[in-house]
């Protein structure tokens, strides 16, 4: 799944990407304006990659 541009600043830079938040979860972060998607806990999903996919889905749902 592809990460959409930042809904706040429009940044399409490749640095708008998934960030691991310690060993607990993932979120998408825009390196230009600093906006962040919701934190997705790894423990709530079967695999780390499933948690990453949910983080991307939640980011892409933002308006």
In this prediction, residue 55 carries a pLDDT of: 92
In this prediction, residue 12 carries a pLDDT of: 82
Structural domain boundaries in the chain: 17-61
In this prediction, residue 15 carries a pLDDT of: 56
CB 12 within 8 Å of CB 32: no
In this prediction, residue 53 carries a pLDDT of: 93
For each of the chain's 63 residues, which pLDDT tens digit applies?
888 999 899 988 755 667 777 778 998 988 889 899 999 999 999 998 999 999 999 999 987
CB 55 within 8 Å of CB 27: yes
């Amino acid at each position: 799944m592809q990460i959409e541009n930042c809904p706040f600043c429009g940044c399409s830079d490749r640095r708008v990407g998934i960030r691991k938040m310690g060993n607990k979860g993932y979120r998408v972060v825009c390196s230009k304006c600093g906006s962040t998607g919701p934190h997705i806990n790894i423990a709530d999903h079967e695999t780390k990659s499933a948690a990453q996919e949910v983080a991307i889905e939640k980011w892409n749902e933002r308006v």
